[in-house]
Structure 1
Amino acid sequence: MSPEDTEVVELAQALIRCPSRAGIDDYGPVLAVLQDWLGARDLPCRRLYDDTGRPVALLVEVAGGRPGPWWALDACVDTAPYGDEGAWSFPPDCADVVDGWLRGRGAADSKLAAAMFCRITAEVRDQAQDLSGGLAVLLDADEHTGGFGGARAYLADAAAVRPAGVMIGYPGPDEVVVGGRGLWRATIAVHAESGHSGSRRTARGAVSRAARLVRLLEDAELPGAEGEFPLPPKLTVTSCHGGEGFSAVPDRCELGVDIRTTPAFDAGAAEALVHGAAAELDALLPGPRPTVITPIASWPPYRLTENQQPSAALLDAAAREGLTVRAKTAGPSNIGNLLAAEGIPATAGFGVRYEGLHGTDERAYLADLPAVHTIYRQTVLRLLTTGSALPGRGAGLC
């Protein structure tokens, strides 16, 4: 392993030893570890904050010596919870290396990638005067909450240069994620008359009405995969809350529905489907009030075209290193969807092999690090060297 990769591993170990579980730990200490490392190398960085003043990311920026587009690397430094620590065969924050594996929570997702991106920033800074545009590295401390606070703060920061594209450092060496289904989420409140469960005069309760609505939603016909987008839409009822005890007929039941959208079945189609099912329920089993639908979240599907940057450069660099890496459209959403909503193309999901991601005994395979490091470094340098002349730049998102 090269001195540069050894430095990456040592920084990743320091990050793993600093717990940063989403919604549990204070993010300040893990950001301080990064700031100390960057400061010791005279790399400019600053903290980003959410609307409440809570630190949610660290942003590193290196400007080239010539004008051109900026590109961004993104890795999260918050993590999933440990879960049952008794089920782990080693301490979740041990950060040791055993049989070539870096062990501990965040080793795979994504503290090793964060450390590698910091090292790449130092390498880019050494050549900055000969490069076009600039490189931003977003070290996101609010990713695992699902709020994507770091990415949102970056996009909202008036002082940050808007990137032409982003590469997100999730692990896995076989695929580059170049697209994903979107989502439309809502809660649905179903109402009924309350009363005693033993009374002869009590009508059907809200839970029963909600159960019928679940059937209407799940029986709704969705289109298949169409055109260049390889996945069909998907509807899932994810929660059901209503009633208490046994003697009272519930007067309200709330459902949660998650619909994964595609270009052929977008958020408007998802919302229309749910409203149609609710109207059918209210006609079949009238209640005291109409069913109420409250949208919670929505973002679009996306898919980068074959020659679009930065995926084309990343896939080409992997091929030059002798790796067979395929482009993939993911079923789940990721930060790429958030960026797509802003018109920013993004890749995700290329890194080292891993085990136990979000589970027990998380670890990352360090033998993959030299090649992955080289591929990302070469991709960044190519993007910053050729600038806006790269083929495919400006191609649209689905």
Structure 2
Amino acid sequence: MSQRARTASVVELAQELIRRPSRAGIDDYGPVLTVLEDWLAARELPHRRLDDDSGTLVGLLVEIAGGRPGAWWTLDACVDTAPYGDEATWSFPPTAGEVVDGWLRGRGAADSKLAAALFCHIAADLAHRAADWAGGLAVLLDVDEHTGVFGGARAYLADEAAHRPAGVMIGYPGFDEVVVGGRGLWRAQVTVHAPSGHSGSSKTVVSAISRAARLVQLLDADALPGVVDASGFPLAPKLTITAIHGGQGFSVTPDRVDLNVDVRTTPGFDAHDAETVVRKATVELDAELPAPAPTDIAPVATWPPFRLADDEEPAAALLNAATAAGLQVRTKTAGPSNIGNLLAGEGIPATAGFGLPYEGLHGIDERAHLAELPTVYAVYKGAVLGLLGG
């Protein structure tokens, strides 16, 4: 297949995916995954469905075994998406899937349906050479990613029949950088208590809302360390209050308020440090403004930070392939967490982004620029062949 024909085929598949709504936690994932199943079956690529513990379909897995023993490597792209937001603010339908002025338009064009189409084509392109490989190539096409649950990736890692990858390359977009790391996170729900009462009562009580507001002040005032990590990690930790829930109506002072606390962690400020900061603030709150019950902290998620060295696979293979394609890309450690953090917790190294230039990621008018598609294709194909020795 010529480069022009292959590019057109990648775009055509991506268009079909964009036209199937697959908003995380909103839409049925069946239609978008069926498009991929039909495409893979038509090319006789070995694939199967991945289900979560409840039996819900959360992804597809392609596995192509090499002719000699060796490590397995995985290309991963999610095919669920962020929600649309206010569709009235878009200048085109979120499911447009059209190409205008060299841009593929629609939700998922950037993150990450175009990458899914590209990775499927790489698998089809290279399958006939598998006998020359040492190891094997997997392509994970997952959903339940934008929920933050990472159900597809978790089902892959839990699948005893799947070959455990030596490394993963995730197809998040961005043409100038190879993302080799990301901050981790520690998240908790903090529950603040207080006596309930009538807002018009002559007896003054400190409501749970007032106590929660004071806790926010204490947390905001607690200075976290800056970028002084001995490991060379380039980002500082960060604490954010992301939600506050409590109270109803006007006449009752609430006896409970729940706060969501999100702390982004680094190798030098880990989950234990994050929890220590939050517990310190709650102890101070309870001493300053006593309540019938102590403030509760319920951790809900912990992911480790990660960062690959430039000479560590699969980062090295991707960087070398980019250089061979004539690109000068830099490495980046991302502030937000991603599937790379989940993989790091499993001891699996990952890159978390190199792809097409984009606009509107998770926002309005999402689109990806197609002129660079042949180069991105060549880089990932070169990286796979470098890893498999084919």
TM bucket normalised to smaller: over 0.9
1:118 corresponds to 2:120: yes
Residue 141 of structure 1 aligns with which residue? 143
Q: Report what 1:234 is aligned to.
A: 238
Moved more, 308-317 or 18-27: 18-27
Counterparts of 1:319 and 1:103, CA distance in 2: 29
Give the deviation of 1:64 after TM superposition.
Answer: 0.4
- 1:201 offset after TM fit, Å? 2.3
Contact 1:48–1:150 (CA<8 Å) still a contact in 2?
A: yes
Q: Choose the corresponding residue for 1:198, options 200, 204, 208.
A: 200
The letter of the residue matching 1:69 is: A
Taking every aligned residue pair, what percent have the same amino acid on both sides? Answer: 69
Task: Give how far 1:85 is off.
Answer: 2.4
Q: Which amino acid aligns with 2:20?
A: C
- Is contact 1:339–1:345 with CA below 8 Å preserved after alignment? yes
Residue 89 of structure 1: how far off its partner (Å)? 2.2
Structure 1 residue 338 displacement after superposition: 0.3
Could you tell me which of 89, 92, 98 is aligned with 1:90?
A: 92
**Gaps (5+ residues) in structure 2?**
none
For 2:224, the equivalent position in structure 1 comes to 222
In the alignment, does 2:356 pair up with 1:352? yes
Give distance in 1, aligned partners of 2:246 and 2:363.
31
State the match for 1:284 in structure 2. Answer: 288
* AA matched with 2:369: Y
1:252 aligned partner:
256
Give the residue type in structure 1 aligned to 2:127: R
Aligned amino acid, residue 254 of structure 2: P
How far apart, CA to CA, are the structure 1 residues paired with 2:54 and 2:15?
A: 30
* 1:285-333 Cα distance to aligned partner (Å, 9 max, x none): 1110111111111111111122110011101111111111110011110
Answer whether contact 1:194 1:202 (CA < 8 A) is retained.
no
Q: 2:66: which partner in 1?
A: 64
Aligned residues: 386
One-letter code aligned to 2:115:
A
Give 1:84 shift: 2.4
Aligned pairs (5 A) from 1:1-398? 1-225=3-227, 226-227=229-230, 228-385=232-389
Deviation at 1:199, TM superposition (A): 2.3
Distance 2:90 2:7 in 1: 27
Q: CA deviation at 1:90?
A: 2.1
Give the structure 2 partner of residue 391 of structure 1.
Answer: none
User: Is the 8 Å Cα contact of residues 148 and 335 (structure 1) preserved in structure 2?
Assistant: yes
Partners of 1:259 and 1:270 within 8 A in 2? yes
- Structure 2 distance, partners of 1:213, 1:81, is 32
**Structure 2: distance between partners of 1:187 and 1:165:** 33
> Are 1:354 and 1:362, in contact at CA under 8 Å, matched by a contact in 2?
yes
Q: CA deviation at 1:94?
A: 2.2
Q: How far apart are the structure 2 equivalents of 1:76 and 1:67?
A: 28
Counterpart contact for 1:177–1:348, Cα < 8 Å: yes
Offset, 1:205: 1.0
Cα offset, 1:247, TM superposition: 2.1
Q: Secondary structure at the match of 2:216?
A: helix
4+ residue runs over 6 A deviation: none
Aligned equivalents of 2:86 and 2:244: distance in 1?
26
**Whole-angstrom CA distance in 1 between matches of 2:286 and 2:74:** 49
Per the alignment, residue 393 of structure 1 pairs with none
Q: TM-score of the superposition, structure 1-length normalised?
A: 0.95
1:392 — aligned with what? none
Contact kept, 8 Å, 1:188 with 1:292, in 2: the verdict is yes
SS state of the match for residue 138, structure 2? strand
Let me know the Cα RMSD of the aligned residues.
1.2
